[in-house]
Structure 1
């Protein structure tokens, strides 16, 4: 008996959001998407009951990638979903699952397995957060008030973040089936956009953050104490994040421009309709063919590595071997300062390497090299996995083109022939695009961005927004011309 037959009774009964019967009007899709986003923002502001203070964010700078909110019911964010996807991609890449996602039964098993893994990851992430690392400490005053132990309050906190993890799973599924785009992507865009708006328009008197506009208002009105602007100190002040933030503005605009340009770079394969004479089209193989979503998987893997290091240090303390990790408190966060976990920690701002390079150049160069290698190679590998498991590979694409009634002019109308043509472009472009996105993410981190969002978060936001724009354009086209649904692979 195979594992599929054994697990089928459980996996096929996992709660799921029903798929719509027939075509969902575009306005209704926007309504579902907007409603889920409003619910997401609301839940990120629902603080955990029983928590002492805000606690310490175990994910630190990875928060922009994992979404959610520190100390809120969405504490875990999309972390469990992404981690479950990493496990499934690795298992699928090694061909250990034996599932054919084109088979409806296997597709149901895959979705059920993904949900089960998300639940497992909620427990594997939430239990250390609450009970081991002290990142979400229970309030002793509340325990005393109710006459229970702090362990009971900790269990209550864990129950809340577990419910939040389940909610965000189904919110993602609602958007994927009834809305526009991907829930995971939209949650990242929501969090990063909020940080970007705060970085531009934040006013210290209102938000406890000095934004770009306020910084320049203070400079131009003389409210800020500035060194002579034509000196080296003045130049550093205008460029640095503590002053004019010109470098952060330049990096933000540059990343925006590069991603939009890269999204438009493509190899277009000509297509013609097999039955309608003169009906022609093109299949675009974009430079960033796998999109930047695989970067979520790479950064989430790094986040889990750093999370493991903090958990180990919280349990071992000073007894932790120095070669494994040395930690210190920095701005209320536990930060690695030596050992393997230090070298695996990405650099997220210019201050992370400019100041340190003057005292320990070798260490900083090693960290940059490790992060660059991790992101470039990891980006390429996860991009390949993403393409193969999401139905974007040469085989699946050839079948999609065949089913739409199109063919490549000059070649026999056969999926195998089209697959061979697509294999000339898709695998190579996928690897190059994944490596390029990884390189851009590291460069953006090192130069800094407006709002102190991570380079990966900015890349994801621009790319997801661009693709959302394209998807909205397709939806509007299909609303005006219902026959186009067959070309785009949508069913009525």
Structure 2
């Protein structure tokens, strides 16, 4: 693998892409550490050092921002507005005929949908930036910190607007950096920035577990966590690579004197066809009641129940509901992203068929049957991989933001495998031995 890296850097064009990607990553990490105007950075550090951040509600966004959210920096919102906008546009494509028509137009339609995604990202950044500033001003961003209400000393309208504009501009800059990586670098830019954001929180989170441990100065807890993490990474790699290949045969056609078709291929259906999207959906949905309770400051019975059962990630109700929401959203997302009838129609149009299955409706029913069968283990795998760290490592102070948690591991492994594949394909084009033998 090290030899392959050396050969990659010896290839001029690939070396330029790798260095360009590394440069963008450095710029991104610098932006995540620059505080925005109007924030007392000293008070922020006091609350961060006290480890009293409200990770339960803001932990997911903070993880995607590489820890920039709770430090209220220029890139505080990170890539989360773009992820949310992309998911919303994907869902609306199924509902709105105009977007569905654009999707079928090919590259021109995709470019138009990408433009809509950018507009929606900026709008969501304004909304989320306003919410973050309001939360910071009220002192609710850090629970129990004595100087939490003094994070934003000047609460005038001008300072508030300046903070929101700065964070919105930061989100637009993150989106631009991601597109630069996609165009001129290696890998998918947005996924790469998400990968870097999560990986940046690993060292501090692992060291915090060692510091909080009591057995052999925390080294036993640290070693146990590392072993469990490596086992989980191996399991995730195994399942993410697993797929059901449905054979497809194309009939021969004579056009003039030439023969076309007659080839054999397959339709790859991944066991985890939905990826990490169901986990993000379920996490976001469970955060909404906790946010409502926090901003309403209600002491009613329902508010107490939400705080004790939904906001607490270790509560039985939270674990059960979280698991079933992940399973539900896995089926829901697969249903809207993979249309068996459309695949069957395209196969029939180009003379393709599945051996032993008639073309048309029987093919669509067969694809739907196979997809449902492999989605069940995929959805259960997502639910278990998201809950195992919370239940098994709770004694070591782990929570849903633990570095080897389900969401972070799925993203790290998925983006890592995809990036390695792209570098390997570039090496194989030049007759070099790749990473995977």
> What corresponds to 2:268 in structure 1?
284
CA spacing shift, 1:98–1:157, aligned 2, 3 Å: closer
- Report deviation, 1:73: 0.9
Matched, 1:251 2:221: no
Are the counterparts in 1 of residues 32 and 74 from structure 2 also a CA contact under 8 Å?
yes
- Runs of at least 5 residues in structure 1 that lack an aligned partner in the other structure: 1-23, 144-148, 203-208, 225-236, 326-337, 348-352, 354-363, 482-492
CA distance in 1, matches of 2:271, 2:325: 20
- Runs of at least 5 residues in structure 2 that lack an aligned partner in the other structure: 1-11, 48-52, 142-147, 253-258, 433-437
Matched, 1:452 2:436: no
CA spacing shift, 1:288–1:472, aligned 2, 3 Å: farther
> What corresponds to 1:329 in structure 2?
none
| Per-residue deviation, residues 125-178 of structure 1 (Å, max 9, x unmatched) | 11122135524967676x5xxxxx733222222221111111122223333344
Superposed counterparts of 1:52-451, under 5 Å: 52=40, 53-54=43-44, 59-63=57-61, 65-68=63-66, 69-70=68-69, 71-95=72-96, 97-100=98-101, 101-104=103-106, 105-131=108-134, 134=137, 135=141, 150-200=156-206, 202=207, 209=208, 211=210, 219=216, 224=217, 244-270=221-247, 281-310=265-294, 312-313=295-296, 317=297, 320-325=298-303, 338-340=304-306, 342-345=308-311, 347=313, 353=314, 364-385=315-336, 387-388=337-338, 393-394=339-340, 410=355, 422-430=367-375, 432-448=377-393
How many residue pairs get matched? Answer: 384
TM-score, normalization: structure 2?
A: 0.72
CA spacing shift, 1:169–1:199, aligned 2, 3 Å: same
CA distance in 1, matches of 2:331, 2:305: 27
CA distance in 2, matches of 1:108, 1:66: 25
Are the counterparts in 1 of residues 136 and 152 from structure 2 also a CA contact under 8 Å?
no
With 470-479 and 258-267 compared, the bigger mean Cα shift is at 470-479
Are the counterparts in 2 of residues 445 and 455 from structure 1 also a CA contact under 8 Å?
no
CA distance in 1, matches of 2:194, 2:382: 17
CA distance in 2, matches of 1:28, 1:425: 43
TM-score, normalization: structure 1?
A: 0.65
Are the counterparts in 1 of residues 282 and 326 from structure 2 also a CA contact under 8 Å?
yes
> What corresponds to 2:29 in structure 1?
41
CA distance in 2, matches of 1:466, 1:476: 15
Are the counterparts in 2 of residues 50 and 153 from structure 1 also a CA contact under 8 Å?
yes
Secondary structure of the structure 1 residue equivalent to 2:24: helix
CA distance in 1, matches of 2:149, 2:160: 7
Compute the RMSD of aligned alpha carbons. 4.1
With 89-98 and 435-444 compared, the bigger mean Cα shift is at 89-98
> What corresponds to 1:205 in structure 2?
none
Are the counterparts in 2 of residues 83 and 301 from structure 1 also a CA contact under 8 Å?
no
| Per-residue deviation, residues 425-473 of structure 1 (Å, max 9, x unmatched) | 3454345423421332122222236993233212321233223323333
CA spacing shift, 1:35–1:48, aligned 2, 3 Å: same
- Report deviation, 1:476: 3.6
Secondary structure of the structure 2 residue equivalent to 1:285: strand
Are the counterparts in 2 of residues 181 and 471 from structure 1 also a CA contact under 8 Å?
yes
CA spacing shift, 1:307–1:366, aligned 2, 3 Å: closer
- Report deviation, 1:293: 4.2
